[in-house]
Amino acid sequence: MKKLIKLTLFLSILITPLISASPQEAKKSVPVFENGEAQIVAAFEDPEKWIRHDLWVETEFDTDGDGKLDRMHVAVTRPQQTDTDGLKLPVIYVSSPYFAGVAPNVTGLFWDVKHELGTAAKERIHPEVVRTGERPIISNSHIKTWVPRGYIVVHSSSPGTGLSQGSPTVGGDNESLAPKAVIDWLCGRIPGYTSLDGKKEVQAFWSTGKIGMTGTSYNGTIPLAAATTGVDGLEAIIPIAPNTSYYHYYRSNGLVRSPGGYLGEDIDVLYDFIHSGDESKRAYNNTTVRDTELKNGMDRITGDYNDFWAGRDYLNDMKPMKAALLMSHGFNDWNVMPEHSYRIYKAAKAKGLPSQIYYHQDGHGGPPPMKMMNRWFTRYLHGVENGVENDARAWIVRENDTRENPTPYKEYPNPEASDVTLYLTPGAPAKGTLSHKKTKNQGMEKIVDNYSFSGRALAQSEISNHRLIYVTPTLSKDIHLSGTAKVTVTLSSSKAAANLSVWLVSLPWNKGSRTKITDNIITRGWADPQNHNSIRKSEPLKKGNFYKVSFDLMPDDQIIKKGQQIGLMIFSSDKEFTLHPEPGTELTIDLSATTITLPIVGGIEAFTHTAKEN
């Protein structure tokens, strides 16, 4: 009897914790999923219980000339259960050149744009970055979003920034190989180290080896850079407004063209802006990278595409890529323009990679809705079969909707869109017309270049000899544009070099807003007429000769409301984007050999029904 009592007591003690623990409490230390999304878990929420530490990962390159392989500074934030319970979790990884501070935006940092085309600008100044931040924290970004949902968040400073060794190269190979090394460490293939120069190793024993990357702008470029290495373990990326080609960021079809809001910036300016690494290595880096590689390769004289720029175009490196891609961009991003995302999405789709694209109607930045990102990472990092691969391929935020409420489409561009070519009839210095019917005797019209007038001012002018503008009849119904407009301008120039700028606008102009939805700029583009045959080779324009210049405008998806007119504006120097040569260059446009092709949902039938001619 006593033995039975002792046995009963022993069993009750043994099973009491199991009985008293609720099902919810039993699940606290593991990720939880509902409707295909990772949920916030109370046990992962308390920042006081997160484990935070840093380390260095050795790369395969030496870019600061000290004879030793460069090491990248890495910081980790993870739930305590990865220590106490042996819990392994996937990783959200963010890398950046900005975490340790940037150079001051002082007068003279940017190139002077007021000079003749084909000539050199005066030398600019080179400010120094004062490094900020303290170990072990590199950044707090993304932590509160992902750690409570059952992820580990890892940050690293890119080469030559913060406590990472090496040199910035602004798109060079080391900026792809650096995140690759960190991913190799997260997957257990190479060791990490507790110090910059030491040999004591650190292992990522808490990582499942499933890595996702995200970030915005430069921080969105690095996930793509890592993915182009084909590194195992990088399962999914969500680049937001990434710069996918430094040529497309600083040039347009042979033309020296600044990113919007940063007139006079170029690749060497960005180098100075981010170079926050070891002060003792900066002189060497400046000499070998900025003053040699960048200076010799960037060519602000001709603006031609060359091998230097080709090596900084990630479209050329996509063959090894296998990560699932969710791309995000704004159609009104005139800094990193929407072509950057579309060209990579298009290539990823052609490779058969899991791919989706999210576009909103605003400016630079702007991630997809949390639900979309959560489903993406849940599927590809946690391996939960949530059917995300069967979701719509394209998500467009319509003009009056919030970013959290995009409209799904089968694809981007809209599969129902087809090209409609429109022809010009004269009207300068007022407005000419755009029609799907070509007329005889279209003739010639002239522009006199003057950079002092902004594009917005020119579009709103009733009469101007500094631009040509051609408009459709007033729309009787809404018209939906989806895709990339293409323009051909046939011109002659009074000088050997000239800027060429083209805007597609919606008129009449709404003067009360600067947002894309009501700002009336549909899309725009720029080109150098000297590159009419090839963006790799420019040739001086001969006075009296006519040249056909064909190029794409920025991709777009926009509904132009009834009561508006679609206008094609052709002008020369764009005050916000191009160099500012002395006013007075004359461009003569041959209207009979100049066209605009628009991607219209419903094609020619939709256009003729909505833009009926008198």
In the chain the domains, ranked by start, together with CATH numbers, are 33-409 (3.40.50.1820), 417-610 (2.60.120.260)
C-alpha neighbours within 13 Å on the C-beta side of residue 546 = 15
DSSP per-residue letters across 142-167: THHHHGGGT-EEEEEEPTTSTT--S-
Query: Is the entire prediction scored with pTM above 0.85?
Result: yes
User: Encoding tokens for residue 558?
Assistant: 């926009």
Bigger pLDDT: 609 vs 138: 138
Quote the tokens at residue 424.
Answer: 């010009």
99-133 pLDDT, tens digit each: 999 999 999 999 999 999 999 999 999 999 999 98
pLDDT confidence band for 512 (50 / 70 / 90)? low
Active-site residue, selected from the candidate residues 360, 364, 532, 580: 364
Instruction: Count the Cβ atoms, other than its own, within 10 Å of residue 485.
Output: 26
Mean predicted confidence (pLDDT) in 437-459: 95
> Which of 95, 176, 207, 217 is an active site residue?
217
Q: How far is CA 313 from the centre of its chain?
A: 12
Which amino acid type is present at position 135?
R
Residue reference for tokens 């959560």? 374
Show the tokens assigned to 436: 């799907």
Contacts 24+ apart (CB under 8 A), 440-445: 442/591, 442/592, 443/591, 443/592, 444/588, 444/589, 444/590, 444/591, 445/588, 445/589, 445/591
Residue 606, pLDDT score: 95
The answer to whether 340 is a known catalytic residue is no
Of 70, 317, 333, 574, the catalytic one is 333
Partners of 558 in the β-ladder: 481
pLDDT-derived band at 22, boundaries 50, 70, 90: very low
Instruction: Write down the pLDDT at residue 510.
Output: 83
Active site includes 480? Answer: no
Q: Would you state the pLDDT for residue 226? A: 98
pLDDT band for position 134 (50/70/90)?
confident
Range with lowest mean pLDDT among 386-390, 406-410, 498-502, 509-513: 509-513
> Residues 571-582, buried b or exposed e (16+ Cβ, 10 A)?
bbbbbbbbbbbe
Q: How far from chain centre, in Å, is Cα 549? A: 27
The residue type of 530 is Q
Question: Is residue 217 among the annotated active site residues?
Answer: yes
Q: What percent of the chain has pLDDT over 70?
A: 94
Give dist(CA 578, CA 252) in Å, integer: 10
Q: Are 260 and 215 in contact (CB under 8 A)?
A: no
Q: Is 573 helix (H, G, I), strand (E, B) or coil?
A: coil
What local confidence, expressed as pLDDT, does residue 511 receive?
64
Where does the pLDDT of residue 86 fall: very low under 50, low under 70, confident under 90, or very high at 90 and above? very high
**Spacing of C-alpha 390 from chain mean position:** 25
Smallest Cα–Cα separation from 611: which of 471, 431, 437, 473? Answer: 473
Closest CA to 436 of 588, 523, 552, 566: 566
